Structure 1
Amino acid sequence: MPQYWLLKSEPTSFSIQDLAKSTGQTTCWEGVRNYQARNFLKSMKVGDRGFFYHSNADPPAIVGTVEVVKAAHPDPYAFDRKSRYFDVKSTSDAPRWFLVDIKLLEIFPNPLPLEYLRTIKGIEGMELLRKGSRLSVQPVRPEEWTCVCSLVPSVKSS
């Protein structure tokens, strides 16, 4: 049974439209530099599903779905001195940071804004809706996944 996630990205940095234009509509989810979010990445498995969330947008919203197509592996940008994600304490022998590869499943015809999601019964406990929640990678419970997917007629929850 797959696990479910929410992946946040600022659309000015990397949007779901950028993912749609990527080769094979696939990309690595690099640059996560929070230990709790990193641990969530490390627990992802091929076949897991995720919501793609545009943060720091007007309005912030869930804009589509993705699938994990490659499990967690060391983030090579952490070893690259020219990268903004370089970490001197991360080495290939002892990597500190990880990434997964994701593939676009669907761009929603209408985004699901954060304020709208706050009104939906059944997802009140969703991490995204918790006050002060800032993690860029978050778990989503199966019942939350199903409920949110039901808001978009074209999305299959499984």
Structure 2
Amino acid sequence: MELTDVDEALLSCQILAIPYPEWFSFLKSDPKPDNIQFLTIPNVIPSEKERSKDFEGFVKAVFTKMEAPVDSILDAVPKPNLILADSFLPWAVSIGERRNIPVASFWPMSLTIFSIVCHHQLLLANGHFEANLTGIVTCRIDMSKKHLNLNIHSNIKI
């Protein structure tokens, strides 16, 4: 297999992944390039196997209990060039701002779900969507600077 320029660039940088222990247990047996390192945070969120029993508690734990352990790990490693985080981890932006590290987010779900979140008003107005997310989720897309700036804001109180 021939490596592309992107492949070579990725192999030349150091990547630190910070999963929680349960996810690390799923990942650790898979082969990985030498430039990827895993450091885990403590088990501060409910197990994947149990989270459906208290999904609200799971979401609250993700939003409120993961930031401090990740921040502590970043105290112990060289300053990264970039934080890449799931879009549903809003605290990653706070960490990046405090540490002057750029943050990029990725959308881990399908484009269909992304579209529903961003266009729920149209779906609701046209009778295509039964859940009314008005006032709960706000999606703003700004293309004015020739790049996509997406802000998803939830008014759910935690």
- TM-score tier, shorter chain, comes to under 0.3
TM-score (norm 2): 0.22
Hey, which of these two has a bigger chunk of strand by percent?
Answer: 1
TM-score (norm 1): 0.22
Hey, which of these two has a bigger chunk of helix by percent?
Answer: 2
Query: Greater relative contact order (Cα 8 A, min sep 6): structure 1 or 2?
Result: 1
